[in-house]
């Protein structure tokens, strides 16, 4: 039997991190600051809507694009929230989370060899998604000194001929970095100058603490070049429902829909109905969770800096990306030792690329009690070094 694996898959970076993850998953009584999802359960009215839909017998496929009701709801939500208009019929596609949306977007727009600027660090799927679509990822290195924000100068420096698109994620996983309207305007000017498409992953938009989130597509002249990606996972604590939405130019959405209909058919109807309820009546839940994350962010940044894990103040999401440089331990060793000795789990920076071996990603999507206990244990660990 020939078990030869596709070359692209073979060349994808092996997830050494997987081994560490398995170690964490196999351990009991761990306090985890390594989780990339909310610690809240989806609000009851959303779960109740999902249960009700099942009771009513909604168990079928939906239109490939997603239910009309959800697409209309997404359109009116974006109009109301951001004055951003999309036609529910031709410019919106419901996906299985933002992850699928990113994959579809990359496959829809890339030809072999097309280059895509990818911020470094970024969410782990960006590079592989571009490679799988036969594109070439081009690293757009960000600087700790700029709070890990992509600057217009970074884009100018990293731009190479044949670059078709830029992937942007703000607020960012793993750094929490986000942009003010003015900063986005400056980025937009460079994006227009280089005539780039942008895959803008704004799934953490509602978790922005220091200013109002601005969708890139809402800036003048940008809507035609932005593929806007968002979903129900983070704002409404609905990760397991797997519902995302992509909004963008008709032609691109049509191409993405083509791939989606052959590979996924449609997102689950239960999830779509739950997401409809979230967008309709979830505003209060979002605000409650946001206030809670905001306080935890303030607490964790202060506490980490106090014990020597140098940490910038991130503007959004629920991550901080502090430096462990002064402890002279590589991120994987630091994470492993902390796990074995003090039973605290976090994500080693190296998971986000070799240049981040001096950092760790800490998620503050955990109860205040757990955060406090984790900080105490990390303090203990550092004292014993």
Partner 1 sequence: MDDILEILSNDARVTPQEISKMTGKSVDEVKKAIKSYEKEGVIIKYKTLINRDLTNEPGSFVRALIEVSITPQKDVGFDHIAERIYSFEEVTSCYLVSGTYDLLLVVEGENIQTVSNFIASKLSPMENVRGTATHFLLKKYKEDGQVLKKKKEIKRLNISI
Q: Which of residues 35-64 bind partner 1 (CB under 8 A)?
A: 35-37, 39
Determine if 291 is a binding residue for partner 1 (CB under 8 A). Answer: yes
Is-contact 122 167, C-beta < 8 A?
yes
Q: Which is nearer to partner 1, 12 or 17 (CB)?
A: 17
Determine if 32 is a binding residue for partner 1 (CB under 8 A). Answer: yes
Q: Residue 180: which residues within 8 A CB-CB, separation 6 or more?
A: 211, 214
- Nearest Cα neighbor of 91 from 74, 77, 107 is 74
Cβ 19 to partner 1 shortest distance, Å: 12
Q: Which is nearer to partner 1, 199 or 303 (CB)?
A: 303
Half-sphere exposure of 246 (CA within 13 A, CB side): 32
Q: Which of residues 100-159 bind partner 1 (CB under 8 A)?
A: 123-124
Q: Which is nearer to partner 1, 140 or 345 (CB)?
A: 345
Beta partners for 197?
165
The residue count for binding partner 1 (CB under 8 A) is 28
Sheet (strand 319-320) strand order = 319-320, 360-363, 347-348
Q: Kindly give the residue spans of alpha helices, DSSP state H, lying in 224-282.
A: 250-263, 269-281
Q: Supply the DSSP symbol for 232.
A: S
Q: Which is nearer to partner 1, 78 or 237 (CB)?
A: 237
Q: What DSSP string runs through 248-262?
A: --HHHHHHHHHHHHH
State whether residue 92 is helix, strand or coil.
strand
Q: Which is nearer to partner 1, 221 or 302 (CB)?
A: 302
Q: Residue 328: which residues within 8 A CB-CB, separation 6 or more?
A: none
Q: Which is nearer to partner 1, 122 or 155 (CB)?
A: 122
- Nearest Cα neighbor of 316 from 179, 146, 186, 122 is 179
Half-sphere exposure of 76 (CA within 13 A, CB side): 9
State whether residue 143 is helix, strand or coil.
coil
Alpha-carbon distance of 64 to 82, in angstroms, equals 26
Question: Among 189, 250, 295, 326, which residue interacts with partner 1 (rule: CB under 8 A)?
Answer: 295
Question: Among 235, 320, 351, 374, which residue interacts with partner 1 (rule: CB under 8 A)?
Answer: 351
Is-contact 97 289, C-beta < 8 A?
no
Question: Among 27, 51, 54, 68, which residue interacts with partner 1 (rule: CB under 8 A)?
Answer: 27
Determine if 242 is a binding residue for partner 1 (CB under 8 A). Answer: no
Cβ 346 to partner 1 shortest distance, Å: 8
Determine if 349 is a binding residue for partner 1 (CB under 8 A). Answer: no
User: Taking contact as CB under 8 A, which single stretch among the options 30-38, 57-65, 110-118, 145-153 is the one that binds partner 1?
Assistant: 30-38
- Nearest Cα neighbor of 239 from 77, 39, 21, 58 is 39
Question: Among 49, 223, 260, 296, which residue interacts with partner 1 (rule: CB under 8 A)?
Answer: 296
Question: Among 16, 113, 221, 302, which residue interacts with partner 1 (rule: CB under 8 A)?
Answer: 302
Determine if 303 is a binding residue for partner 1 (CB under 8 A). Answer: yes
Q: Which is nearer to partner 1, 42 or 230 (CB)?
A: 42
Determine if 285 is a binding residue for partner 1 (CB under 8 A). Answer: no
Determine if 232 is a binding residue for partner 1 (CB under 8 A). Answer: no
Determine if 334 is a binding residue for partner 1 (CB under 8 A). Answer: no
Half-sphere exposure of 10 (CA within 13 A, CB side): 5
Q: What DSSP string runs through 346-366?
A: -EEGGGG-GGGTTBEEEE--S
Cβ 172 to partner 1 shortest distance, Å: 13
Both tokens assigned to 179: 């942009």
Q: Which is nearer to partner 1, 44 or 52 (CB)?
A: 44
Binding site for partner 1 (CB under 8 A): 17, 21, 24-25, 27, 30, 32, 34-37, 39, 123-124, 173, 239, 291, 295-296, 298-299, 302-303, 345, 347, 351, 368, 372
């Amino acid at each position: 039997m020939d078990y030869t694996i596709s070359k692209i898959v073979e060349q994808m970076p092996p997830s050494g991190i997987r081994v560490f993850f398995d170690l964490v998953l196999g351990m009991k009584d761990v306090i985890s600051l390594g989780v990339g999802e909310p610690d809240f359960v989806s609000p009851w009215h959303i779960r109740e809507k999902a249960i009700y839909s099942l009771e009513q017998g909604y168990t079928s496929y939906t239109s490939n694009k997603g239910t009309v009701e959800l697409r209309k709801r997404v359109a009116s939500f974006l109009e109301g929230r951001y004055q951003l208009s999309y036609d529910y019929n031709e410019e919106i596609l419901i996906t299985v989370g933002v992850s699928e949306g990113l994959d579809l977007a990359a496959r829809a727009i890339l030809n072999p060899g097309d280059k895509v600027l990818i911020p470094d660090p970024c969410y782990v799927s960006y590079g592989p998604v571009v490679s799988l679509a036969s594109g070439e990822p081009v690293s757009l290195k960000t600087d700790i000194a700029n709070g890990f924000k992509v600057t217009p100068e970074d884009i100018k420096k990293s731009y190479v001929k044949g670059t078709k698109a830029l992937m942007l994620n703000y607020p960012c996983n793993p750094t929490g970095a986000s942009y003010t309207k003015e900063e986005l305007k400056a980025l937009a000017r460079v994006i227009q100058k280089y005539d780039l498409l942008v895959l803008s992953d704004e799934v953490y938009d509602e978790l922005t603490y220091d200013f109002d989130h601005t969708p890139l597509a809402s800036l003048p002249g940008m809507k035609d070049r932005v593929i806007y990606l968002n979903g129900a996972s983070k704002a409404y604590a609905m990760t397991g429902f797997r519902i995302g939405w992509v909004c963008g130019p008709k032609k691109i959405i049509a191409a993405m829909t083509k791939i989606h209909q052959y590979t996924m058919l449609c997102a689950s109807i239960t999830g779509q109905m739950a997401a409809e309820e979230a967008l309709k009546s979830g505003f209060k839940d979002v605000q409650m969770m946001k206030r809670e994350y905001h306080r935890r962010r303030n607490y964790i940044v202060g506490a980490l800096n106090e014990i020597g894990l140098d940490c910038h103040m991130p503007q959004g999401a629920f991550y901080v990306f502090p430096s462990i440089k002064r402890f002279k331990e590589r991120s994987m060793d630091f994470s492993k030792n902390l796990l074995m000795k003090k039973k605290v789990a976090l994500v080693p920076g190296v998971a986000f690329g070799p240049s981040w071996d001096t950092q760790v990603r800490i998620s503050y999507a955990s109860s205040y009690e757990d955060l406090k206990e984790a900080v105490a244990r990390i303090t203990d660990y550092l004292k014993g070094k």
